[in-house]
């Protein structure tokens, strides 16, 4: 019984890398729905159906706990899945809450009423589907008041990263940051609301300026997962780690190896 990690493509490998370093004894099964990526331009119903299909595949692989490392899936599908689809003996968790807990400086699992926090102006960079869902703002409102969020839909960035075109990705990051700064000239913090974006974190930071604190998800999700497994040891289990994809295993393996700079071999899901 490994822990499942799902992403529409390869961005979730940033989360996988962090959780394997934080939890070296835990086996993980990573599933990339490469055949249907990117999710960020799809409708919420499409995202829900595709996410359920992939998570079901991870359940079939013996994963009782699945992390949606895809922000778009977390934003557009997670709540609906938890309310109407996830079996009683399974758990599906997203990646927004650990990020917001860090942003608002709340302890893991702090469910006290929302309060004012030190950060007042937040820039959110995410896919179009994540932005339109307003899931980040909804989750933030459970924990903080008085925070102004300006969201920027970063069309094209995921595609460029998945295609390995980092020059185009860098140009798109600069363009999207410029567009955000025209709407919010002085953000206190910036949220990289897509697991692909940590690969471009230095580019975001350079474009935003050193005075803006940039929050990225991978290490925060890893710490949150470690805390969760400590409280729910029955979800940790045992098994073999694996990499699965709905796309071309050879092509996805090559891209993944470039991402993590170590050999990664995917098999067909």
Rounded Cα distance, 171 and 166, in Å: 9
Distance in angstroms (rounded) separating the CA atoms of residues 129 and 76: 7
Question: One of 52, 63, 154, 194 is an active-site residue; which one?
Answer: 194
- 63 carries an active-site annotation: no
Point out the catalytic residue in the list 52, 63, 70, 154: 70
Residues 153, 127 contacting (CB under 8 angstroms):
yes
Work out the angle between the directed axes of helices 218-231 and 13-22 (0-180°, nearest 10): 50
Q: How far apart are the C-alpha atoms of 8 and 133, rounded to whole Å?
A: 17
Q: Which long-range contacts (CB under 8 A, 24 or more apart) does 224-230 make?
A: 224/97, 224/98, 224/101, 224/108, 225/3, 225/19, 225/22, 225/23, 225/67, 225/93, 226/19, 226/22, 226/23, 227/108, 227/109, 228/93, 229/3, 229/23, 229/26
Question: CB atoms < 10 A from the CB of 148, how many?
Answer: 12
Rg (CA), the chain: 17
Establish whether 70 is a catalytic residue: yes
Element (H, E) at 145: strand 144-145
Residues taking part in catalysis: 70, 194
């Amino acid at each position: 019984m490994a822990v499942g990690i799902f992403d529409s493509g390869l961005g979730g490998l940033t989360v996988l890398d962090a959780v394997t370093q934080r939890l070296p004894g835990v086996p993980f099964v990573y599933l990339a729905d490469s055949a249907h990526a990117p999710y960020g331009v799809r409708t919420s119903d499409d995202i829900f159906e595709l996410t359920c299909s992939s998570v079901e595949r991870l359940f079939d692989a013996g994963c009782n706990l699945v992390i949606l490392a895809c922000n778009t899936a977390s934003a557009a599908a997670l709540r609906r899945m938890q309310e109407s689809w996830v079996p009683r003996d399974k758990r599906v968790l997203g990646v927004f809450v650990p990020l917001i807990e860090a942003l608002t400086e709340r302890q893991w699992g702090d469910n006290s009423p929302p309060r004012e926090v030190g950060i007042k102006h937040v820039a959110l960079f995410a896919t179009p589907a994540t932005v339109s869902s307003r899931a980040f703002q909804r989750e933030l409102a459970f924990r903080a008041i008085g925070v102004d969020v300006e969201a920027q839909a970063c069309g094209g960035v995921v595609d460029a990263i998945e295609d390995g075109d980092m020059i185009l990705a860098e140009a798109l990051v600069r363009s999207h940051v410029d567009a955000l700064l025209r709407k919010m000239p002085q953000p206190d913090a910036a949220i990289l609301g897509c697991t692909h974006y940590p690969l471009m974190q230095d580019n975001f930071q350079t474009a935003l300026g050193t005075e803006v604190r940039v929050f990225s998800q991978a290490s925060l999700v890893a710490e949150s997962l470690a805390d969760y497994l400590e409280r729910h040891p029955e979800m940790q289990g045992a098994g073999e780690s694996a990499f699965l994809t709905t796309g071309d295993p050879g092509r996805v393996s090559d891209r993944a190896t470039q991402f993590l700079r170590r050999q990664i071999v995917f098999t067909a899901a």
